[in-house]
Structure 1
């Protein structure tokens, strides 16, 4: 049974998501429709890319992923379907796939050209669903589009590294359900540039000089519970996706607050890491 996943910025209030699911079910007798997320910030392709990049590989090979974020077709925002890592993706060619495919080259890319046969002002419903169902039936990409050599690249979302490699300047690319702040600075970049040097992470009024391997790693469980610093403890860690994350231990955005609210950080805000001079001391 084919699997079609949905990632959109439609939210949960409007009928858009239900309409897309209904259209898929009307096209296919049997299909598994899986919601990855419908709460991507409107038009925020970096956030959508982070969510998809860290979830798609858990699905079986051959799964089909519809991405309904910033999907309106324009002369600068064509629609594409591609095969990547034995998965299929259908989305606008707005740069999102360059973020998802930053370390894997797509096996095949086509620019979708079936729009003339479909009257639509809702491309996810009318175009992306048709393409997804075509693929789910075993159809080839060449039938619904013309092959193109590459996808649109977004370079501005990579961290900036200064010339003498003493500083990394990144930004907030995702805020999770707990209000934890995920940066676009990966463990690989941090370790390659840092080379084991001492460092300071600065984000507005908060600073960190240590990065933990997990949330619980930041807590000294050898101390009696009543003397531990637990709830509300500020920490930086490498998260499950190996990006630097700024967090508060056991935060609750609706009660005690979260890293986002208490640190005053929002999407795209700057994160600065400075390393000590390699010749210091």
Structure 2
């Protein structure tokens, strides 16, 4: 079966950037199948990109190559890497974008992209997605061995991946806002289990208490706010048939606190 490459970027849909990356890949490996995860990651939003990738990579078959570019540091000294994990591959900037993959997959192996024979001849300082990441993904799809990409490297894992667990509280933050206005946090169900408190919780967004912990978005009447575990096992704050981000005025980085009920 033809190799599969996914693409996830913050490039949007109105410019030529995504097409250029696909063109480079097809010039090296014409048999590739593409899946566009999304190109609507908010510009430079590494946290949300990391979460989106984490939320869907396990749904893809072994051998999938994930080409992910949310790269505000393009052209600087930030490293370019490839990761092998969960029988899949991940290619992109070492800026925290793969933090959730590294958190989920303890056996992940990372390589620094240093084999310049796999790059385009001319490398733009502003478009490594086209000139480095896309050709490396294509060569990998064509059968280039993973260990030939470059030396071992310990990639960056960003501190926002895990909330802070204390005796009396669990402190996290808002990762981003989804298409429906749901507020997605970095607090996962497993973190609450580690904390040792899976029921009788009080949940606060900044200083606003979330009144109900529910099972589904429709457990409450329309317009009522609630918290629940989303499909990726992250704590979400929602409004039934409404927009929680607008309701609470929430923004990425806002503090979310879980406390034990008195």
TM-score normalised by L of structure 2? 0.90
Matched, 1:39 2:40: yes
**Inter-partner Cα distance in structure 2 for 1:261 and 1:112:** 42
Runs of 4 or more off by more than 6 Å in structure 1?
Answer: none
Q: CA deviation at 1:194?
A: 4.9
Larger radius of gyration: 1
Task: Report the counterpart of residue 234 of structure 1 in structure 2.
Answer: 225
- Give the alignment of 1:128-277 within 5 angstroms: 128-148=133-153, 150-162=154-166, 165-196=167-198, 198-204=200-206, 206-216=208-218, 218-219=219-220, 230-251=221-242, 258-276=243-261
Task: Report the counterpart of residue 105 of structure 1 in structure 2.
Answer: 106
Q: CA deviation at 1:3?
A: 0.6
Q: CA deviation at 1:40?
A: 0.9
Q: Which runs of 5+ in 1 are unaligned?
A: 220-229, 252-257
**Inter-partner Cα distance in structure 2 for 1:136 and 1:160:** 39
Query: What RMSD, in angstroms, separates the aligned Cα atoms of the two structures?
Result: 1.9
Instruction: Give secondary structure in 1 for the equivalent of 2:159.
Output: coil
Q: Which runs of 5+ in 2 are unaligned?
A: none
TM-score normalised by L of structure 1? 0.85
Instruction: Give secondary structure in 2 for the equivalent of 1:212.
Output: coil
Question: Contact (CA 8 Å) 1:204, 1:264: kept in 2 or not?
Answer: no
**Inter-partner Cα distance in structure 2 for 1:106 and 1:9:** 28
**In the comparison of the two structures, how many residue pairs are matched?**
256
- Give the alignment of 1:14-29 within 5 angstroms: 14-29=15-30
Instruction: Give secondary structure in 2 for the equivalent of 1:54.
Output: helix
